[in-house]
Amino acid sequence: MGIGKLSEKASELSDVIPYYFFCLFFSCISFSVAIIVFSGETSWLRPLPVIIYSFYVVIPYLLFAVPLQVFFNKYPRKFNLFYLFVYIIFSFIAVFIFYIVENLDFAMNVVKMKEYYELSLSASVVFWIWDSIFLQKKTDSS
Protein backbone atom coordinates (compact mmCIF):
# COMPACT_ATOMS: atom_id res chain seq x y z
CA MET A 1 0.00 0.00 0.00
CA GLY A 2 1.47 3.32 -1.04
CA ILE A 3 1.80 6.42 1.08
CA GLY A 4 -0.96 8.12 -0.90
CA LYS A 5 -3.47 5.34 -0.21
CA LEU A 6 -2.49 5.24 3.46
CA SER A 7 -2.96 8.99 3.90
CA GLU A 8 -6.27 8.78 2.04
CA LYS A 9 -7.49 6.05 4.43
CA ALA A 10 -6.31 8.08 7.45
CA SER A 11 -8.13 11.13 6.11
CA GLU A 12 -11.36 9.15 5.64
CA LEU A 13 -11.08 7.75 9.16
CA SER A 14 -10.43 11.16 10.72
CA ASP A 15 -13.56 12.49 9.02
CA VAL A 16 -15.70 9.72 10.56
CA ILE A 17 -14.26 9.55 14.11
CA PRO A 18 -16.34 12.47 15.45
CA TYR A 19 -19.50 10.69 14.29
CA TYR A 20 -18.48 7.53 16.15
CA PHE A 21 -17.93 9.65 19.26
CA PHE A 22 -21.31 11.40 18.91
CA CYS A 23 -23.08 8.09 18.39
CA LEU A 24 -21.38 6.57 21.45
CA PHE A 25 -22.01 9.65 23.59
CA PHE A 26 -25.70 9.97 22.75
CA SER A 27 -26.23 6.20 23.02
CA CYS A 28 -24.75 6.15 26.52
CA ILE A 29 -26.79 9.15 27.68
CA SER A 30 -30.02 7.84 26.10
CA PHE A 31 -29.58 4.32 27.47
CA SER A 32 -28.75 5.68 30.93
CA VAL A 33 -31.91 7.78 30.95
CA ALA A 34 -33.91 4.76 29.75
CA ILE A 35 -32.48 2.59 32.55
CA ILE A 36 -33.41 5.21 35.15
CA VAL A 37 -36.92 5.76 33.78
CA PHE A 38 -37.72 2.05 33.38
CA SER A 39 -36.38 1.25 36.84
CA GLY A 40 -39.01 3.58 38.30
CA GLU A 41 -36.42 5.72 40.07
CA THR A 42 -37.37 8.99 38.41
CA SER A 43 -35.87 10.89 41.35
CA TRP A 44 -32.51 9.72 39.95
CA LEU A 45 -33.18 11.57 36.71
CA ARG A 46 -30.49 14.14 37.45
CA PRO A 47 -27.15 14.81 35.75
CA LEU A 48 -24.90 12.93 38.20
CA PRO A 49 -26.72 9.56 38.12
CA VAL A 50 -27.03 9.78 34.32
CA ILE A 51 -23.28 10.41 34.06
CA ILE A 52 -22.51 7.51 36.41
CA TYR A 53 -24.72 5.13 34.44
CA SER A 54 -23.16 6.40 31.20
CA PHE A 55 -19.67 5.50 32.38
CA TYR A 56 -20.94 2.05 33.27
CA VAL A 57 -22.64 1.60 29.88
CA VAL A 58 -19.77 2.86 27.72
CA ILE A 59 -17.65 -0.26 28.33
CA PRO A 60 -19.97 -2.80 26.67
CA TYR A 61 -20.73 -0.35 23.88
CA LEU A 62 -17.01 0.12 23.19
CA LEU A 63 -16.26 -3.60 23.35
CA PHE A 64 -19.22 -4.94 21.40
CA ALA A 65 -21.14 -2.28 19.48
CA VAL A 66 -18.44 0.03 18.11
CA PRO A 67 -16.51 -2.75 16.29
CA LEU A 68 -19.78 -3.82 14.67
CA GLN A 69 -20.51 -0.23 13.83
CA VAL A 70 -17.14 0.16 12.09
CA PHE A 71 -17.87 -2.95 10.02
CA PHE A 72 -21.41 -1.84 9.19
CA ASN A 73 -20.17 1.59 8.13
CA LYS A 74 -18.42 -0.11 5.20
CA TYR A 75 -21.91 -0.89 3.84
CA PRO A 76 -24.00 2.02 5.18
CA ARG A 77 -27.78 1.60 5.36
CA LYS A 78 -30.03 3.74 7.52
CA PHE A 79 -32.36 1.89 9.88
CA ASN A 80 -31.49 -1.52 8.42
CA LEU A 81 -33.34 -4.28 10.30
CA PHE A 82 -30.54 -6.79 9.71
CA TYR A 83 -28.11 -4.42 11.47
CA LEU A 84 -30.58 -4.17 14.36
CA PHE A 85 -30.80 -7.96 14.54
CA VAL A 86 -27.00 -8.28 14.74
CA TYR A 87 -26.84 -5.54 17.40
CA ILE A 88 -29.48 -7.45 19.41
CA ILE A 89 -27.51 -10.71 19.21
CA PHE A 90 -24.31 -9.01 20.36
CA SER A 91 -26.23 -7.16 23.06
CA PHE A 92 -27.52 -10.45 24.47
CA ILE A 93 -23.94 -11.71 24.58
CA ALA A 94 -22.60 -8.51 26.17
CA VAL A 95 -25.27 -8.34 28.88
CA PHE A 96 -24.77 -12.03 29.65
CA ILE A 97 -20.99 -11.64 29.99
CA PHE A 98 -21.27 -8.53 32.15
CA TYR A 99 -23.85 -10.21 34.37
CA ILE A 100 -21.52 -13.19 34.89
CA VAL A 101 -18.54 -10.91 35.59
CA GLU A 102 -20.54 -8.83 38.07
CA ASN A 103 -22.08 -11.71 39.98
CA LEU A 104 -19.48 -14.44 39.50
CA ASP A 105 -22.40 -16.82 39.27
CA PHE A 106 -22.20 -19.16 36.30
CA ALA A 107 -25.79 -20.30 36.60
CA MET A 108 -28.02 -19.68 33.62
CA ASN A 109 -30.48 -17.76 35.79
CA VAL A 110 -29.72 -14.57 33.90
CA VAL A 111 -31.55 -15.75 30.78
CA LYS A 112 -34.67 -16.34 32.87
CA MET A 113 -34.75 -12.75 34.09
CA LYS A 114 -37.02 -10.23 32.40
CA GLU A 115 -34.41 -7.50 32.95
CA TYR A 116 -31.90 -9.41 30.81
CA TYR A 117 -34.13 -9.10 27.76
CA GLU A 118 -35.18 -5.53 28.54
CA LEU A 119 -31.58 -4.35 28.90
CA SER A 120 -30.37 -6.23 25.84
CA LEU A 121 -33.14 -5.06 23.54
CA SER A 122 -33.16 -1.46 24.72
CA ALA A 123 -29.35 -1.16 24.52
CA SER A 124 -29.31 -2.45 20.97
CA VAL A 125 -32.25 -0.35 19.78
CA VAL A 126 -30.81 2.84 21.29
CA PHE A 127 -27.41 2.25 19.69
CA TRP A 128 -28.97 1.27 16.35
CA ILE A 129 -31.03 4.48 16.23
CA TRP A 130 -28.05 6.74 16.97
CA ASP A 131 -25.87 4.75 14.56
CA SER A 132 -28.44 5.24 11.80
CA ILE A 133 -28.69 8.96 12.53
CA PHE A 134 -24.97 9.74 12.69
CA LEU A 135 -23.10 7.18 10.60
CA GLN A 136 -25.25 5.34 8.10
CA LYS A 137 -25.22 8.11 5.49
CA LYS A 138 -26.42 6.16 2.45
CA THR A 139 -29.70 4.30 2.11
CA ASP A 140 -28.51 1.97 -0.64
CA SER A 141 -25.80 -0.65 -0.48
CA SER A 142 -22.32 0.52 -1.51
Are the CB atoms for 63 and 94 separated by under 8 Å?
yes
The helix or strand, by DSSP H or E, that contains position 75, with its residue range, turns out to be: none
What are the tens digits of pLDDT across the range 86-139?
999 999 999 888 888 887 766 667 777 888 888 899 999 999 999 998 877 654
Q: What is the pLDDT of residue 57?
A: 92
pLDDT (0 to 100) of residue 140: 44
Cα separation of 29 and 54, whole Å?
Answer: 6
pLDDT value at 141 more than 50? no
Between residues 107 and 22, which one has the greater pLDDT? 22
Evaluate if residue 142 carries a pLDDT over 60. no
Q: Is the pLDDT of residue 6 over 80?
A: no
pTM listed for this prediction: 0.81
User: Pick the residue with more confidence: 28 or 106?
Assistant: 28
Alpha carbons 56 and 74: distance in angstroms, whole number: 28
What are 29-72's pLDDT values in tens digits? 999 999 988 888 888 888 899 999 999 999 999 999 999 988 99
Which residue would you say has higher pLDDT here, 99 or 141?
Answer: 99
Q: Any idea where the domains of the chain sit in the sequence?
A: 3-134
Q: How far apart are CA 90 and CA 113, in angstroms?
A: 18
pLDDT at 45: 85
